[in-house]
Amino acid sequence: MRVIDDMTAILTGLWTTWKHILRRPVTIQYPEEKRIPSPRYRARIILTRDPDGGERCVACYLCSAACPVDCISMQAEEGEGGRRRAAWFRINFSRCIFCGFCAEACPTMAIQMTPDYEICRRDVMDLVFEKEDLLVEHCGKDPEYNFYRHAGIGVTQPRGEGEGEKPTVDVRGLMP
């Protein structure tokens, strides 16, 4: 019965419309009104510092290796006290897909995602962020963590003297 089918389709459509007509709209008047995303929202990337104010990034290249679109590049150098860091660090946000793989791969918690989604630029070249644009003056999501206190082995402290680090083993003592 074609007429019944047609009427059912029309009434179903009308029912869907009426069902939503009295609901609160989800639309907001951006940019006057701004939605606050969850703290875990993956938007603008930052490079954080450890609690002593030092740069957390040790220029290990793991984030750039993990990045599926190859939008992270850097150059490693040795800083004060032999501490390794990035001489320059660049993220091309025009390619970034905000997948978060870089933050997952980072062993020092240096690179972190933030909920700041307002990084649109008119000129695409302005979406290339250099280290000075990325490096912030705080610790980000983990204010206590300091990679060098745990694993700055042989760089900022002798081997076996890091926090929670087991003493070194004298391999000669293991010989028969």
Q: Is residue 46 a contact residue for ligand SF4 (CB under 6 A)?
A: no
Q: Is residue 41 a contact residue for ligand SF4 (CB under 6 A)?
A: no
Q: Is residue 63 a contact residue for ligand SF4 (CB under 6 A)?
A: yes
**Closer residue to ligand SF4 in complex, CB, 106/139:** 106
Give the C-alpha distances (Å, rounded to integers) separating 169 from 151, 160, 163, 165, 174. 16, 9, 17, 12, 9
* Residues contacting 50, CB < 8 A, separation 6+: 56, 139, 145, 146, 147, 148
- Token pair, residue 111, equals 């690179």
Query: Which residues is 49 bridged to in the sheet?
Result: 55
* Residues contacting 135, CB < 8 A, separation 6+: 46, 47, 49, 55, 89
Q: In the set 71, 114, 131, 152, which binds ligand SF4 (CB under 6 A)?
A: 71
Closest distance of CB 69 from ligand SF4, Å = 5
Q: What are phi and psi of 6, to 5 degrees?
A: -65, -45
Q: Is residue 72 a contact residue for ligand SF4 (CB under 6 A)?
A: yes
Binding mask 73-112 for ligand SF4 (x = CB under 6 A): ------------------x----xxxxxxx--xx-x-xx-
Q: Is residue 62 a contact residue for ligand SF4 (CB under 6 A)?
A: yes
The runs of H, that is alpha helices, within the chain are 2-21, 62-66, 101-105, 131-134, 147-151
Q: Is residue 136 a contact residue for ligand SF4 (CB under 6 A)?
A: no
Q: In the set 7, 9, 69, 87, which binds ligand SF4 (CB under 6 A)?
A: 69
Instruction: Name the residues that contact ligand SF4, by CB under 6 A.
Output: 57-63, 66-69, 71-72, 91, 96-102, 105-106, 108, 110-111
